[in-house]
Amino acid sequence: MKYRTRAFVLIAVVIALGGAGGYGAWAYARYLTQSRAPSEVSVAPSAAAGPVIFFRNTASGQGQGMVAAVPAHDPKAPRTLTSQACDRVDATAGRRICLRTRIGLDSTTEELILDADWHIVRTRTLAGLPSRARLSADGRFAASTVFVSGHAYSGSFSTATEISATDGESFGNLENYSITIPGTSLTPQERNVWGVTFAKDGDTFYATVGSSDRNWLVRGSVGQRTLTAIHAGVECPSLSPDGTRIAFKIKSSDPNQQQVRLLAVLDLKTDQVTTLGENRNVDDQAEWLDDASVLYGLARGAPIGDSDIWVLPADGAGKPSLFIEHAWSPSVVSGVRS
């Protein structure tokens, strides 16, 4: 009886660990072959001149996870690969920001500020997982949002957003700025800031404050350390190049789809909101291609981690169309030095 019990447990151990080990070995072998295989998309050896779009290349094969570039006027052209790996990337003419997951016992985010040739200017570690990264148009300011996830022991969830000077110090977590929301007081859980977008005046920025249930578009000032609500129900704002409109995520009006976020545009002068023609759930901070259309990423579903970049007219008329396949985190750069 005792021996039989032991034999059964031994069999269970052998089957379970053997199966898991076998699967692990197979997955490792597949990873090796895939990462050595040529990219599944066509790759160009050198970049064309003119405005480009940088993005994270999610195509399997060589260069997966690296920053790539395509000409802005011909996004379907073969992509050029850099040797810089990023989960989130944003670029200006002279500066780049790259957020990279550093796998560890508790994973953290590495924030890199790079120059136009992808040489590192500075790095620092952020406690949390990469979420959003933006630079101001002049490259002076960088903003990073990370997910701060609760460990089983430590509990709560939040996002942490910091603005820093690309050549120096951080101005601290935005939740410590003075937050003004007329007629409302925030609960501690709602004291969450995410998704920064910079205006061109060197001080003003926009971001979201709140939770999934209640959130506000705030206008912030780096110098004054203030955040002031200007509109409710706005997540992940993105300021248009002409500075007149904000593209953002809006909660679906369908009560059965409270988890779905759609794209919309807010006119800052008229306060009018236009929902755009994308019916799928969007989890990205939109990026303006020009003053007429926005770019955003959508997961492909399988394999996990793969996604495409789509383009959509910003006036509410028109349907989305595929912009760059196997790509994520687009960043439009008009005046690249190279």
Partner 1 sequence: MYLSLSDWRGRKSETRATAPPFKLAPVILALGVTSLLTDISSESVAAVLPLYITASLGLSTIAYGFVDGIYQGISSSVRIAAGWTADRTGSQKWIAFAGYGLSALARMALLVADGFGSLAAVIAVDRVGKGIRTAPRDALIRFAAQPEHIGRSFGVHRMLDTVGAALGPVLAFVILLVIPNGYRVVFIASLAFAVIGVAVLGLFVPNERRRHPATAREPRPGWRDVNTPAMRRLLLVAGALGLLTVGDGFLYLVLQSRTSFAAEWFPLLYVGTNVAYLLLAIPMGRLADRWGRTRVFIAGHGALLAAYVSAVLPWAGLPATLATLALLGAFYAATDGVLAALAGLLSPQRAAASGIAAAQTVVAVARLISSTGFGLLWYAVGGAPALWIMAAGLVLVLPLAVLLLRAAQGAGVQTAAQSVP
**Which of 283, 282, 250 is closest to 266 using CA atoms?**
250
Q: Give the nearest distance from C-beta 80 to partner 1 in angstroms.
A: 23
- Detail the DSSP E strand segments found in 211-284: 215-221, 226-232, 235-239, 245-251, 261-267, 273-275
* Ranges within 304-333 binding partner 1 (CB under 8 A): 304-305, 307
The binding track of 229-268 with respect to partner 1, each residue x by CB under 8 A or -, is ------------------------------x-x-------
| Residue 12 touching partner 1 (CB under 8 A) | yes
| Residue 31 touching partner 1 (CB under 8 A) | yes
- Nearest to partner 1 of 42, 107 (CB atom): 107
Interface with partner 1 by CB under 8 A: which range of 42-50, 152-160, 225-233, 269-277?
Answer: 152-160
User: Which residue among 45, 49, 104, 168 contacts partner 1 (CB under 8 A)?
Assistant: 104
Q: What is the DSSP letter of 188?
A: G
User: Which residue among 36, 46, 83, 103 contacts partner 1 (CB under 8 A)?
Assistant: 103
Q: Give the nearest distance from C-beta 180 to partner 1 in angstroms.
A: 15
C-beta of residue 310 within 8 angstroms of C-beta of residue 298: yes
| Residue 291 touching partner 1 (CB under 8 A) | no
Residues found in the chain = 338
Phi/psi for 107 (5° steps) reads -70, 145
CB-based burial label for 115 (10 Å; 0-12, 13-18, 19+): middle
- Nearest to partner 1 of 32, 77 (CB atom): 32
Per-position b or e across 253-283, b if 16+ CB within 10 A of its CB: eeeeeeebbbbbbbebeeeebbebebeeebe
| Residue 19 touching partner 1 (CB under 8 A) | yes
User: Which residue among 144, 159, 166, 329 contacts partner 1 (CB under 8 A)?
Assistant: 159
C-beta of residue 121 within 8 angstroms of C-beta of residue 115: yes
User: Which residue among 45, 223, 255, 301 contacts partner 1 (CB under 8 A)?
Assistant: 301
Q: Give the nearest distance from C-beta 278 to partner 1 in angstroms.
A: 15
Q: Which residues contact 118 (CB under 8 A, 6 or more apart)?
A: 67, 82, 83, 84, 96
Residue 279 to residue 288: CA distance in whole angstroms? 19
Phi/psi for 286 (5° steps) reads -60, 155
Q: Cβ atoms within 10 A of the Cβ of 206, count? A: 24
| Residue 172 touching partner 1 (CB under 8 A) | no
- Nearest to partner 1 of 63, 130 (CB atom): 130
Q: Give the nearest distance from C-beta 309 to partner 1 in angstroms.
A: 13
Interface with partner 1 by CB under 8 A: which range of 136-144, 184-192, 226-234, 272-280?
Answer: 184-192
Q: How far is CA 210 from CA 40, 227, 236, in A?
A: 41, 12, 11
Q: Give the nearest distance from C-beta 282 to partner 1 in angstroms.
A: 9
C-beta of residue 206 within 8 angstroms of C-beta of residue 218: yes
The binding track of 119-138 with respect to partner 1, each residue x by CB under 8 A or -, is --------x-xxx-------
Chain positions contacting partner 1, by CB under 8 A: 5, 8-9, 12-13, 16-17, 19-20, 23-24, 27-28, 31, 65, 87, 101, 103-108, 127, 129-131, 147, 149-159, 187-189, 191, 194, 211-212, 259, 261, 283, 299, 301-302, 304-305, 307
